[in-house]
Amino acid sequence: MIKNLYFIIILLFSSAAFGQKTYIQCGKLIDGVSNSTQTQITIIVEGKTIVGIEKGYLSGGATDKVVNLQDKTVMPGLIDCHVHLENQGTNLIETFTLTDADIAYHAAVYAKRTLMAGFTTVRDLGGSGVNISLRKAVQQGLVDGPRIITAGRAISASGGHMDNSVGYRDDAFNHKMGPDDGVADGRDELIKAVRLQIKRGSDVIKIASTGGVLDLSENGTGAEFTIDEIKAVVETAKDYGLRVACHAHGAEGIRRAILGGVTSIEHGTFMNDEDMQLAIKYGTYYVPTIIAGKSVADSAKVKGYFPPVIARKAIEVGTQIQQTFAKAYKAGVKIAFGTDAGVYDHGKNYMEFQYMVEAGMPPMAAIKSATASAADLLGIADKTGSISIGKFADIVAVDGNPLEDIKTMKNVSFVMKEGKIYTQ
């Protein structure tokens, strides 16, 4: 009898908890899809999901929870399509001194900092592989952080952006860089490199079709893969249902990447008119990372901060990206928000919004680039990217109105990911 009564009490409490909803009262709502702001809206959350969106301020029942954001601007959880959660800054010595354990502890801090800045989803485009473990830790609730879609190790040609032996004497490394390290040449090696990343748990494949700024190569813009090699990567990734992001600065490398079928061009510093028209034709997304360009250009002005070869490239690239972005936006290229966080300090991702608006993109378009457009690029528009019934309750709020002053994107005062409140 007593056991039965105890069971009934537990069942009643469990049922009440299960049925509890959260009513989020929004003063202003940017839903991530429409071009106008709604006012006095209530979002109803149950579990991990948005189950209702109603006009006016609703409170639900006695067991429901109310979150008062009547003086805030509410929007979908933000998405950064280009981050590197394993690192922060550009200290070359740390490449040889930090262990995987060191990197993991740092990455956990950066992940939480990113989430607290309002970014509930990120695409991590390359690290040592610790990023895959970090994704799992976040999924399991061991670490607070954004939803992570990760590339594991990125892939480039010998002597390319991911070849860490560039600039060092031949015997400085105890083995020859190869597909296992993300360095591959020709169709066969590239297919193997892609399959190795998929085997290790990557969600997306990243390649570099040109050199980069923060490596010791002399030329950061030259094309480093043929169209046929890029097609081999794209076809292999597609077989497994994965998309391909491509780091590219020079115009020819960008052209080959688009024709090879990549999903997005990252940085795109010297994208020319032909590249822009090809991107429009093939529906290729452009992820500009303006803040990273500005950050490295500023650092290059500090004597001794970079080796001379990197400082030169940083000035060349950093001063150009924002101009290219402005032209690409005006031409009609599809743009998704991405910052290259890790090149600069994590948690300052919001500054990209300022640079986009400064270059001519309206504030609402900038926000949509980090919500609906970003979700479309990542292939998760059915799960997040807008305030919609049935999608994850990824919801953030800022103090002020970003449509009047985009700098208010810095002032994140509420973060919910999958129905869980992380800061209020």
Q: What confidence tens digit (pLDDT) does each residue in 138-170 have?
A: 999 999 999 999 999 999 998 777 666 565 556
Query: Which residues of the chain, if any, have pLDDT below 50?
Result: 1-2, 6-17
CA distance 262 to 246: 7
> Residue 16 has what pLDDT?
44
> Residue 78 has what pLDDT?
98
CA distance 31 to 116: 20
DSSP 64-100: -EEEEEEEEEEEEPEEEEEE-TT--S--TTHHHH--H
For residue 250, the one-letter residue type is G
> Residue 306 has what pLDDT?
79
Domains 2-77+386-423 and 78-378 alike in fold: no
Domain boundaries, the chain: 2-77+386-423, 78-378
Kindly report the CATH number that applies to the domain delimited by 2-77+386-423.
2.30.40.10
For residue 335, the one-letter residue type is I
- CA 32 to chain CA centroid, nearest Å: 16
Could you tell me what percentage of the chain is helix, strand and coil, using 3-state DSSP and rounding each to the nearest 5? 40, 20, 40
- Look at residue 332 and give its three-state secondary structure: coil
pLDDT of 212-226, one tens digit each?
A: 887 766 777 889 999
Residue with tokens 């303006």: 290
CA distances from 50 to 25, 275, 392, 418 (A): 13, 39, 6, 9
Neighbours of 272 (CB within 10 A): 15
> Residue 181 has what pLDDT?
84
> Residue 165 has what pLDDT?
53
Residues with Cβ within 8 Å of 61's Cβ and at least 6 positions away in sequence, in order, are: none
CA distances from 375 to 135, 198, 267, 380 (A): 18, 21, 19, 5
> Residue 324 has what pLDDT?
97
Task: Detail the DSSP E strand segments found in 231-333.
Answer: 244-248, 264-267, 285-287
Q: In what order do the strands lie in the sheet with 205-208?
A: 205-208, 244-248, 264-267, 285-287
CATH class of the domain defined by 78-378: alpha beta
Element (H, E) at 49: strand 49-55
> Residue 307 has what pLDDT?
77
pTM of model > 0.75: yes
